[in-house]
Amino acid sequence: MAEAERIIGTPDVEGAGPEKSSENEGAGETAAVKKDEAEGAETAAEGGASVAAQVKRKLPLLLIVALIAYALDLGSKLLVVAKLEPSGETINVIGELLQFRAIRNAGAAFGIGEAYTIVFTIIASSVIIVIARLARKLYSLPWAIALGLLLGGALGNLTDRIFRTPGFLEGAVVDFIAPAHFAVFNLADSAVVCGGILIVILSFKGLDPDGTVHKS
């Protein structure tokens, strides 16, 4: 009898083994899926952090470009006021095609509108405010360079308006770059013009400051 029970019970015992093994395999697959999901989530988080880092780099670039433009303009003006203006000397850089000579300009870039100094001061201040607002959604590298040039140039000439004679907000800008048959200007003017040209090109191509491209 015992022998018969042993023989009859054998299939049940053997059948239980594969069932248990199947359960173990299922649990292993579930664990593997969860592990893959966790790794995927971690990768996505790292990717998001990488994208965020790329986005954040645009504002520092704008500030770096602006700082370089401003420093070059300020340094050149200090040198001109200290060395070139007192002597009244004219330096021939490329013969008479390009000269350095110091003048004071109460108008806008290239000597335009000398009777509206305060107006141009307000415009420069407004440009700086607009750039500060755009910088919050600045994801485009070319736009960061363009706005940096514009900001540095605007700050350079605004510094003259505020601190130079004849008075606060009416100060005359120091100009010294004198090409033949053209108005005398400074490095701040050059930065503003270059930044403006780049903005026109980017707008023509449909590239927005946030990095998106649209078709006109």
What mean pLDDT, rounded, does the chain reach?
79
Q: What pLDDT does residue 99 have?
A: 96
- Same domain? For 171 and 132 the reply is yes
Give pLDDT, residue 121: 78
Residues 38 and 68 in one domain: no
Is 212 within the bounds of a domain?
A: no
Task: Tell me how long the chain is.
Answer: 216
- Sheet containing 91-94: order of strands: 91-94, 98-105, 173-179
Q: Which residues of the chain have pLDDT under 50?
A: 1, 4, 6-8, 10-17, 20, 44-45, 47-55
Task: Give the per-residue pLDDT at 28.
Answer: 57
46 and 65: one domain? no
Q: Answer with the one of 31, 55, 79 that is the final residue of a domain.
A: 55
| Residues 151 and 173 both lie in one domain | yes
Give the number of domains in the chain.
2
Could you tell me the residue range of the domain that residue 93 belongs to?
Answer: 57-204
pLDDT at 105: 85
Give CA–CA dist 16/25, Å, rounded.
14
Distance CA 204, CA 115 (A): 34
102 and 190 inside one domain: yes
Residue 129 included in any domain: yes
**Residue 192: per-residue pLDDT:** 94
What is the structure's pLDDT at 125? 87
Residue 211 lies in a domain: no
Quick one: 51 and 95 in the same domain? Answer: no
Query: Does 101 lie in the same domain as 11?
Result: no
Catalytic site positions: 175, 189
Q: In this structure, are 126 and 139 located in the same domain?
A: yes
On whether both 95 and 46 belong to a single domain, the answer is no
| Whether residue 76 is found in the same domain as residue 5 | no
State residue 122's pLDDT score.
82
Residues 98 and 48 in one domain: no
Distance CA 203, CA 169 (A): 32
Judge contact between 184 and 101, C-beta under 8 A.
yes
Residue 12 and residue 101 in one domain: no
